[in-house]
Chains A and B, each alone.
Chain A
Amino acid sequence: MRTVLLLALLALQSAEGSLDEKVSPLLPKPEEERWLQIPWRSDFAVARSEANRVGKPIFLWMMDGNPLGCT
């Protein structure tokens, strides 16, 4: 039973290793995630209230499809 479990774990680790090698090159590079360093608010009403309260202008990025989620 232990041998079977060990073999299953080894197979899993091997599969995950191979999967990581395929997935990693597709993930965003740091420069492709720089826009996330901007503290985007996702709720327009919250953003307007905050701008009103703290006295700052609003910058709105509006796209067909939420720009934080799609392309």
Chain B
Amino acid sequence: MELLQRDFIPVAANTAYLAPEEKKGRNWCESSRFLEKIIEKSGLRKQDESETAQGHYAFSAAGDVYGSINTNDPDEVLAILKRAKKEFAAARPAKVELKESSLGPESPVPEGAIVLRVFSRITPLPAGLDELHRRRNGQLGRDHLWLLKSDAAEMLSRLKAAKEADAPPALSTRLCRFHLTDNVRGESDLWGPEDVKKRSFTVAKLAETETAMTVRLTGSYAMLMTGIKVEGRPKKSEMGLEGTIEGILELDKAKGTFSGGKLYASATGWGASTFTPDEPPGKFPVKFAMVVATDAVSRQVAPQGIMNSGREQYLAPK
């Protein structure tokens, strides 16, 4: 960690944004063109061009490649860092002239939206799991949830003359399709509109002043996806999740936006999606916490649902 803090410029990026598998999907800006050369030199993208380029890379701004690897093994990454430091010091590259100084956020947070960090865990872990399954299922899933100004406006409108109302459909659908998913073992297949079998969300006014409103959100949901080709398995299978959600949302009536929020969801899950094998056998408990983000990164990194389904679908999901 010290090596990264002191001797490198560490950067995190989304392959689908800067170096997607499909050549036609690339934007070919200066950064993307440069990165494609780095990937080519590293050999990390496999011969078949449909393979992903995800992994760790060490290189100079001029384009000298010191190493690359796609692994979760910290020792292997450390070996690359040490080699890169040594090779960089031995032959310091000349400075290059760069035209592109910023790419901007991949998908900016909409005006008036607040960001919640979303965490998921399988807890308690089912008994009797072997070491691999304990490790894989003991991980923490992460994402970001956007609560939009339009969600707040809809909620304020529905609760203007009522103590209780159905939650704004865009908000409850966004929660079901993109955030209530077992992503504990990695990137999960997100639910399509047809996979949401039940979605019943209610908001109730808890307290109100001239400038603010506190709302309690409760709901229940059930999702089911069938015909999934899970990596490494011969037969197609299904994945499901059903449970309840509860929480508090704070609204700024003057601005017509959310000013805070905290949500908790408890669910029973089963099955795995394409890239999340090694799930516990049978049904297992999945829990979610959603809390207001206070860090800069959360406003720079878009929700996974945007990468999966596009910005429009995420903002106004069907």
Residues of B within 8 A of A (CB): 1, 4-5, 7-19, 29-31, 34-35, 38, 52-62, 66, 81, 84-85, 88, 92, 95-96, 98, 100-106, 119-121, 123, 139-144, 183-187, 206-207, 214, 216, 246-248, 262, 264, 266, 287-289, 291, 295, 297-298, 300-304, 307
Contact = CB atoms under 8 A, between A and B. Distances in A.
A46 B35 CA distance: 14
Which of B14, B35, B104, B120 has the most chain A CB within a 10 Å cutoff?
B14
- Dominant secondary structure at the B interface: mixed
A42 B297 contact: yes
A66 B143 CA distance: 10
Nearest to B94: A52
A1 interface: no
25 contacts: A16-B262, A22-B287, A26-B288, A28-B119, A36-B297, A37-B1, A42-B12, A43-B103, A43-B105, A43-B300, A45-B31, A49-B98, A52-B96, A52-B98, A56-B7, A58-B58, A59-B57, A59-B81, A64-B16, A68-B300, A68-B301, A69-B298, A69-B304, A70-B187, A71-B183
A40 B10 contact: yes
Interface residues of A, number: 53
A39 B10 contact: yes
Contact of A46 (B30, B101, B247): B101
Interface string A48-71: 111111111111111111111111
Nearest to A61: B12
Interface of A: 5, 8-9, 11-12, 15-16, 19-20, 22-23, 25-28, 32, 34, 36-71
A66 B301 contact: yes
